[in-house]
A = this chain, B = another copy of it.
Amino acid sequence: MKFKLEKTDTQSAARSGQLHTAHGKVQTPVFMPVGTQASVKTASPEDLEQAGARIILGNTYHLYLRPGHRLIEESGGLQSFMSWPHPILTDSGGFQVFSLAELRKINDEGVRFQSHIDGSYHTFTPELVVDIQRSLGSDIMMVLDECAPFPCTHEYALKANERTVRWAERSITHFRATKPPLGKEQALFGIVQGSTYEDVRRQSMQQLLKMDFDGYAVGGLAVGEPKSAMMNITQLCGDLLPKHKPRYLMGVGKPEDIVHAISLGMDMFDCVIPTRNARNGTVFTWIGRLVLKNSQYEKDFQPIDASCPCYTCRTFSRAYLRHLFQAQEILGLRLATIHNITFYMQIVKNAREAIQKGIFEEWKNQFLNNYQMTEQV
Contacts and interface: CB of A to CB of B under 8 A. Distances in A.
A71 B299 contact: yes
A42 B326 CA distance: 15
Contacts of A75: 299, 301, 317, 319-320
A36 B331 CA distance: 13
Contacts of A74: 299, 301
A53 interface: no
A320 B83 contact: yes
A225 interface: no
Nearest to A328: B37
A315 B82 CA distance: 9
Nearest to A320: B81
A311 interface: yes
A288 interface: no
Interface in A35-59: 37-39, 41-46
A315 B44 CA distance: 10
Contacts of A83: 315-316, 320
Contact of A41 (B71, B299, B317, B331): B331
Contact of A329 (B41, B71, B301): B41
A77 to B, nearest CB: 12
Given A41-B329, A329-B37, A298 B334 contact: no
A287 B316 CA distance: 38
Interface residues of A, number: 37
A309 interface: no
Interface in A63-83: 66-67, 71, 74-75, 81-83
A324 interface: yes
A89 interface: no
A147 interface: no
A38 B43 CA distance: 21
B41 A323 contact: no
A67 B315 contact: no
A177 interface: no
Given A71-B319, A320-B82, A329 B66 contact: no
A335 interface: yes
A340 to B, nearest CB: 15
A83 B320 CA distance: 9
> Which among A46, A83, A315, A334 has the greatest number of chain B C-beta atoms within 10 A?
A334
A323 B66 contact: yes
A333 interface: yes
5 contacts: A41-B331, A45-B315, A67-B298, A83-B316, A330-B330
Interface of A: 37-39, 41-46, 62, 66-67, 71, 74-75, 81-83, 298-299, 301, 311, 315-317, 319-320, 323-324, 326-327, 329-331, 333-335
Given A38-B324, A71-B299, A83-B320, 13 more contacts: A37-B327, A38-B327, A39-B324, A42-B331, A44-B331, A46-B311, A66-B326, A67-B323, A74-B299, A75-B301, A75-B320, A82-B320, A330-B334
